[in-house]
Amino acid sequence: MADQSDVWLVVPVYNEAQVIADVVRNALQTFPNIVCVDDGSRDGSADAIRGTGAHLVQHPVNLGQGAAIQTGVEYAREQPGAEYFVTFDADGQHQVADVVRMLDRLRAEPVDIIVGTRFKGDDSHIPLIKRVVLKTVVAVSPKLRKLKLSDAHNGLRVFNKKVADELRITLNGMGHASQIVDMISQRGWRVTEEQVEILYTEYSMSKGQSLINGVNILFDSALKTGSRR
């Protein structure tokens, strides 16, 4: 297996004590460097992370997933030898094999960031409502069509040091996915996407963002000009 010591996995964690240790141990078999950002969990997620061999950064208060990703990336990019970065969900939805494949592409191809997509192959395993909503988002967004991205809200992303250094997520909540898309188009990062598999377990379904939260995301994105500086 290729040496992955220049890769850092950034895992935002919020109340995932049940599964986080297993997810991290499993990923550690392939990736030696993992930083878990505990986003003010109240269920002992931090204790579950301690002892797994992952680095632990704890937000003193709950800030939101966007903020946790930014924190994790800021931690990881300061580590010696860090060249490639991965955002990886804590609930076990993402597959290590997908990450390895994306990293191989990132090392070989002239791209800065690779985003996971659920919609390149067979997507019948995705819950119907989710499929319809996610596809609508893409259909109404000219930016996504221009960048040829089919799944903006996929949490699995792999990117290089340039992107990590320039990444500045200011939307603390779930709006960060669209903000990353904005940054891709504004800063001219070379982007492509890769088919990934998302495991919809009962656990991840109960934890995943509800569709009604899409309203919040839209609102935040529409008004984010206010927090620009």
Partner 1 sequence: MLIQFLLIAAVIVLLVFFLKNHGTTKTAAGVKIGFLLFLVLAVVAVIRPVEVSKVAELVGVGRGTDLLLYALVVAFGFQTINTYLRFKELELRYARLARAIALRNAEAPEPPQDAPVVEAVERVEDPAHTS
Q: Is 142 in the site for partner 1 (CB under 8 A)?
A: no
Q: Collapsing DSSP states into helix, strand and coil, what is residue 141?
A: coil
Answer for which of 70, 87, 93, 154 binds partner 1 (CB under 8 A) is 70
Q: Is 5 in the site for partner 1 (CB under 8 A)?
A: yes
Question: Cα(87)–Cα(12) distance, rounded to whole angstroms?
Answer: 8
Cβ closer to partner 1: 163 or 169?
Answer: 169
DSSP secondary structure, 49-74, as one string? HTTTT-EEEE-SS---HHHHHHHHHH
Site for partner 1 in 179-218 (CB under 8 A): none
Cβ closer to partner 1: 143 or 224?
Answer: 224
Answer for which of 9, 27, 48, 54 binds partner 1 (CB under 8 A) is 54
Site for partner 1 in 106-135 (CB under 8 A): none
Q: Maximum Cα–Cα distance for the chain, whole Å?
A: 47
Cβ closer to partner 1: 55 or 94?
Answer: 55
| Residue 155 contacts residue 87 (beta carbons within 8 Å) | yes
Q: Is 56 in the site for partner 1 (CB under 8 A)?
A: yes
Determine phi and psi for 38, rounding to 5 degrees: -80, 115
Return the ∠ at Cα 37 (arms to 80 and 131), rounded to 5°.
115
Angle between helices 176-187 and 65-77 (to 10 degrees): 50
Answer for which of 37, 114, 156, 181 binds partner 1 (CB under 8 A) is 37
Paired tokens of 115: 């985003």
Q: Is 1 in the site for partner 1 (CB under 8 A)?
A: no
Cβ closer to partner 1: 115 or 171?
Answer: 171
Piece of 103-111, 156-164, 202-210, 221-229 that binds partner 1 (CB under 8 A) = 221-229
Length of the chain: 229
Paired tokens of 226: 């206010």
Which residues lie near partner 1 (CB under 8 A)?
5, 32-33, 35, 37, 50-61, 63-64, 67, 70-71, 74-75, 78-81, 170, 172, 223-227, 229
